[in-house]
Structure 1
Amino acid sequence: MTLLRAETIVKRYGATEALKGVDFDVHAGAVNVLIGENGAGKSTLMKILAGVETPTSGRLLLDGKAVRIGSVKDAAAHGISIVHQELNLCPNLSVSENIFLGRQNAGLIDRRSERAETAALMKRLEQDIDPDTLVGDLRIGQQQIVEIARALSDKARVLILDEPTSALSPTEVEVLFRIIRDLKSVGTGIVYISHRLEELLRIGDHITILRDGSWQATAPVAEVSMPWIVRHMLGHDGQAAVATSRDTTAATVLSVRDLRLTRPDGGYSLDHVDLDIKAGEIVGIYGLLGAGRSELLESLVGACPARGTVRLDGKDLAGLNVSARVERGLCLVPEDRKAEGLFPNLSVGGNLGLSSLVKFSRLGLISETAAGRAIAAMIGLMGVKTASPDLSIGALSGGNQQKVVIGRCLMPGPRVLLIDEPGRGVDIGARHDIFARMRTLAEGGMSVVFTTSDMAEAQTGADRVLVMARGRITADLSPSEATEAALIAAANGVPESEMSPA
């Protein structure tokens, strides 16, 4: 049964047509998958369903009757709730305050009841998160859990999940899938957006594909295959960059010894880590949520107060802050591009050029000509799809925003580029572009280190895969050694033999 239908939806922003007469059905008691490249129109369509945007033309039908959804409150009144891809939380408020924000009745707020319901939601999601914890003190994966909990608390008839697993560990994904199955059993219509295609085939019931703002195909998931999905998404059979083993005799560019980062409870977020990165090498760091991957990269650039030795081209970086390490040739693309990587009030060019102002300055004056040339070159190098460098960064899709953040880190000409989860919230086409660019950079002599919770990214994107668990490096694998069994075993800190069936 069709619960919600979007019919011939058109959305224009000036001369840009983001949606071109799109039809989309949400079936009750089913997972309705919506996929497409970044910029295909998925998020625009979801914003229309959730009342964030209104269509230029077309209509929405709920239970077969035309409805007008002109605001988020209208959507909520009709039983439609959304978990956005970009987290929409207040870091200065507690977990329970975020979950119930804007939903309290006039008069006294029953904090005790809110905390009790939050605790129940955390238990349902199998998370040990205190309702009174400030959201700003949580890591991004835990914040994603809070977003999901907030949507669950609405008890919606239609639940839109936009990249819900992008920052979740495999264990947390399994919990979410169990909850989705529970919601299906009571007739909830789930709209599910993700760039992890294997995940979509596993959890989905119906699939709709958009490309360039237009409907491309709809089918039951049981009748589709991976090649079918990729072909309709891209219009071709796009292949990812494949890793090849690099020259093991190359010079060591980055050397780390005995790196330690202590947690408040006295344990280690980084537990005596040693590693060496060679020139022109792409190293993938795989691990589950909380393994210490992000803490490692943040410590290398001086953003975390870790102890130990970090040497770049043989020179000790002790005592240098983040900006000084960037000048030396070490730059980090953060995991959360919205909160830590982008400057929303600046243009595409402004975001790209921000890390290189000194490079374009003379006697305190910035050469706009030189900066403009460099920014235009970087837009071309990274394949950023933008009408102009003067366009607002917020007008770009998530994949193009990620390319801009990476491009800004490349502007100063780093020796080692660190990228935390390059594929998070990025479609298959943009991910291909990013990993292909990483390969080109490595072939030019730059070293690239990236973290990932996606096994396929680790297996195909790296020349060498390091696996982390509980703050330690538990495996150092070549591409041929980085099998699923080996990665799972090392990420859980157990021998591979224990992961095999008896």
Structure 2
Amino acid sequence: MYLRLENISKRFNSFVANHNISFSVDAGKIHGILGENGAGKTTLMNIISGLYQPDTGKIYLEDKPVKITSPKGAIKLGIGMVYQHFMLVPQLTVTENIIMGTENSWCLNLRQKQEEIAALSQAYGLKIDPAAQVENLPVGTQQRVEILKVLYRQAQLLILDEPTAVLTPTEVESLINILRQLAGAGKTIIFISHKLEEVINLCDTVTVLRRSKVVATTIAKEVTPQQLAELMVGREVVLQVNKSASVPGKVIVSVQNLSVANDRGIPAVSNVSFQLRAGEILGIAGVDGNGQRELADAIAGVRSIINGKIEFNRSCTRQKIGYIPEDRQKIGLVLQFSIAQNLILKAFKNLPFCHHFLLQPPAINNHAQVAMAEFDIRATGEDIKVSQLSGGNQQKVVLARELAGEPNLIIAMQPTRGLDVGATAAVHSRLLVERDRGAAILYISTELEEVMAMSDRIAVIYRGEFVAILDAEIATIEEIGLLMGRGTGGRKSAGTG
């Protein structure tokens, strides 16, 4: 047995993040950790990796009690964390990123280090060019750099946080093979994911957390995704997206030869054309960073365009567009405002929320109470700050605000990113209600399975261009995955109409 936790508890003031958590992982095994948002997964991993210290409980490595007092101390004990958001310097090479912080010598033999990295990558089947600049590498290869970083530091226990969130299907398959190779070489792996089938396919054992406690530890192959989902949320969950046939209506938005720049002024969207009709969902499939955010911003009217046209149906004014941004905390919400205040951010100057330039608290609070009931926003009151809500409840606040007033066009950018199965099902269900009402929906996600399940048509974006628009009913995951990764292959476009 390589790692054992006994009765780990951690509080933040009155909030209990972890309560008496116990589980163990054998050497050379892959152990999955599942749980809803706010269940305590992140806190627990931060304890194992030395960022936090437990209030009570013990950690054992190879049956010896250890105190992990810092991330540096964790590395010395052979514990390495691979974060969901990569900790790489894009302008540096692979070798420079890997050795950063480990070399104290003024005289650095970079060629020798490149040879060491090349040998290490070959030993673990992590094909990579040690001299390549990180910013020129695809996302899947950058993730290999992160894994090599912890292996270079002699890690025996690897913790991976949502490692497949930004990968293409081909890259996911490659990562799974790499992790199996690492386990076969004796490394111990903790794998955190919201993708239930992925956990069952990859992991030997899995621990499920719910409301800061362990509710089950089981052999992964002996449970179904449905059983895991119900363990996570404590109730029955509908995992399948059930949508009726689409009946497209009038054109709501027409995009012609659109080009858009990113924040640095570099073109991110090039020559994109499509039409989106009432009562249909057009999904955008692609690896993160291929122009999705710039496209969404441009259509929502919050980013200037370089070239092309965006034409709306006369019934679709800017006030009738709902925009769910990709980052609810940085863009979608004002964290220090209350739920009630966030719900009127787009309408605080209008009746009944404002009268003679004065805000009307009774109307604002009543509106919040109705929205909280309709969208199942779980909080003790409408005056609670949104910073105190879980990720899923924060997203429901954004949804409630953006879907108010029955918008003609809804732009949903990564609407389920970081959400657990229960919150994801709630978001999907609500968007399908809006589609059946007659809204046109642009659904953008790096979760390919979600795009395929939710969409009526699927546009594949690669390096800022649409390389195909496919009928979602007959498109295959292999075909879309190939287009996402290379921009070539697959069938002809299903058209822009």
TM-score range (shorter-chain normalised) is: 0.7 to 0.9
Counterparts of 1:444-455 in structure 2 under 5 Å? 444-455=437-448
Change (3 A) 1:111 1:273: farther
- What is the deviation of 1:435? 0.4
Distance 1:117 1:364 in 2: 69
CA distance in 1, matches of 2:130, 2:259: 25
Native 8 Å contact 2:93 2:134 kept in 1: yes
Once residues 78 and 455 of structure 2 are traced to their aligned partners in structure 1, the CA distance between those partners, rounded to angstroms, is: 44
SS in 2 for 1:358: coil
Once the two structures are overlaid, the 10-residue window that deviates more, 363-372 or 440-449, is: 363-372
* 1:70-469 → structure 2 map (5 Å cutoff): 70-85=69-84, 87=85, 89=87, 99=97, 103=101, 124=126, 126=128, 131=133, 133=135, 150-239=149-238, 240-248=240-248, 250-261=249-260, 269-289=268-288, 292-302=291-301, 303=303, 305-314=305-314, 327-337=318-328, 340-341=331-332, 343-344=334-335, 346=337, 348=339, 351-359=342-350, 360-362=353-355, 364-410=357-403, 414-469=407-462
Instruction: Tell whether the 8 Å contact from 2:99 to 2:149 is kept in structure 1 after alignment.
Output: no
What is the DSSP-based 3-state SS (H/G/I as helix, E as strand, rest coil) of the residue aligned with 1:179?
Answer: helix
CA contact (8 A) 1:144 1:167 kept: no
CA RMSD of aligned residues (A): 4.1
Aligned partner of 2:495 in structure 1 is: none
Q: Point out the more displaced range, 275-284 or 99-108.
A: 99-108
Aligned mate of 2:471, from 477, 480, 486:
477
Q: Deviations over 1:417-442 (max 9, x none)?
A: 21222232222111101101112223
Partner in structure 1 of residue 60 of structure 2 = 61
Deviation at 1:255, TM superposition (A): 1.5
Question: Partner amino acid for 1:464?
Answer: R
Percent sequence identity is 30
Identify if the C-alpha distance between structure 1 residues 368 and 343 changes in structure 2 by more than 3 Å, giving closer, same or farther.
Answer: same
The answer as to whether partners of 1:207 and 1:218 remain within 8 angstroms in 2 is yes
- In structure 1, distance between residues paired with 2:116 and 2:344: 43
Contiguous gaps of at least 5 residues in structure 1: 317-324, 498-502
User: 1:115 & 1:335 partners in 2: Cα distance?
Assistant: 39
- 1:494 is matched with which residue? 489
Verify the 8 A CA contact 1:280 1:447 in the aligned structure 2: yes
1:111/1:221 Cα in 2 relative to 1: closer, same or farther (>3 Å)? same
* In 2: Cα distance, 1:487 partner to 1:404 partner: 32
Instruction: Determine if contact 1:466/1:477 at 8 Å carries over to the other structure.
Output: no
How big is the shift at 1:193?
0.8
Deviation at 1:77, TM superposition (A): 2.8
- Gap runs ≥5 in structure 2: 493-497
How far off its partner does 1:163 sit?
0.7
Cα distance, 1:192 vs. partner? Answer: 0.4
Q: Following the alignment from structure 1 to structure 2, what is the Cα–Cα distance between the partners of residues 396 and 138? A: 36
For the residue of structure 1 that corresponds to 2:166, the secondary structure is: coil
Structure 2 counterpart of 1:309, which letter?
Answer: K
Q: Report the 3-state secondary structure (helix = DSSP H, G, I; strand = E; otherwise coil) of the residue aligned with 2:411.
A: strand
The number of aligned residues is 480
Which residue type is aligned with residue 373 of structure 2? G
- Following superposition, the deviation at residue 18 of structure 1 comes to 3.0
Q: Secondary structure at the match of 1:275?
A: strand
- Equivalents in 1 of 2:28, 2:457: separation in Å? 43
